[in-house]
Amino acid sequence: MNILDKIVLDKRKEVDLKKSIIPVSQLEASALFNRTTVSLADALRNSNSGIIAEHKRRSPSKSVINQNNSVTEVAVGYENAGACGMSVLTDGKYFGGSLDDLLLARASVQMPLLRKEFIIDEYQLLEAKAYGADVILLIAAILTRAEIKAFSEFAKQLHLDVLLEVHNEEELHKSIMPSLDMLGVNNRNLKSFEVSLDTSKNLSTLIPDDFVKVSESGISNIEAIRELKPYGYLGFLIGENFMKTDNPGESALNFIKSIK
């Protein structure tokens, strides 16, 4: 059983429990549920840097990344640095995040927020909307084509942007559909945890131009971005690189300055 299978198994239990505690009507009554969302896809199309900066405390591959900085500090730092958007990990067990992190980020900044989560149920999209997200992530590796279609179409009804993540050609082919805004290529091999930018390069030609292309994982220097831009990538998701420093916002600022 790989790590993704384990996470999904735990996630199903977690979502079932949450559904039994917090009814959909309560999520829909949230103050943020009817706020006008901001499109990350549009922000990336109009940006020079394309940086989506991530808030991540830990991960299964690197236990602790940063337990010290508050979400508010990090979010404000990223926005001031000129990031296009912010990815907020809301998984507790494996990444040390929570929906409260999303709420705190939303209270602090105007930029688009991505709920980075293992989505396996429409209920999680309602949560994302209720806690102030603008974008949701769907991971092709854990979903069927029918689920991707159902979740992405439901997200569009909620005025949420959809970033779909793939790891290989097979996942890409099963996923392409009009209800997606962005296609993210994860450069990390889930079985070996090895990272290679070749994944993004090889898949770039298979992604139709109507989708914003995003490269994820293993982007730790400006060279990586310079290498990927000719392949049509407009978005670059960077987490660990900023979070492993004492001041993620300042790291993001220096990084973004050197791209321009």
pLDDT digits (tens, 9 = 90+) for 17-28: 999 999 999 999
Per residue in 120-161, pLDDT (tens digit) is 999 999 999 999 999 999 999 999 999 999 999 999 999 999
Q: Is residue 216 among the annotated active site residues?
A: yes
Active-site residue among 54, 117, 127, 171? Answer: 54
Q: Is residue 240 among the annotated active site residues?
A: no
Per residue in 231-240, pLDDT (tens digit) is 999 999 998 8
Which CATH number is 250's domain given? Answer: 3.20.20.70
For residue 112, give both structure tokens: 């688009």
Q: Is residue 56 among the annotated active site residues?
A: yes
Q: Is residue 202 among the annotated active site residues?
A: no
Residues 44, 158, 168, 10: what is their CA dihedral angle, to the nearest 10 degrees? Answer: 120
Active-site residue among 215, 217, 241, 251? Answer: 217
Per residue in 150-195, pLDDT (tens digit) is 999 999 999 999 999 999 999 999 999 999 999 999 998 877 778 9
Active-site residue among 11, 216, 240, 251? Answer: 216
Domain hosting residue 184, numbered range: 3-259
Contact indicator for 52, 235 with CB cutoff of 8 Å? yes
List C-alpha distances in Å: 85 to 12, 54, 74, 143, 175. 28, 9, 12, 25, 23
Q: What is the arithmetic mean of pLDDT over 223-247? A: 95
Active-site residue among 11, 39, 49, 56? Answer: 56
Contact indicator for 18, 120 with CB cutoff of 8 Å? no
Q: Is residue 165 among the annotated active site residues?
A: yes
Overall domain count for the chain: 1
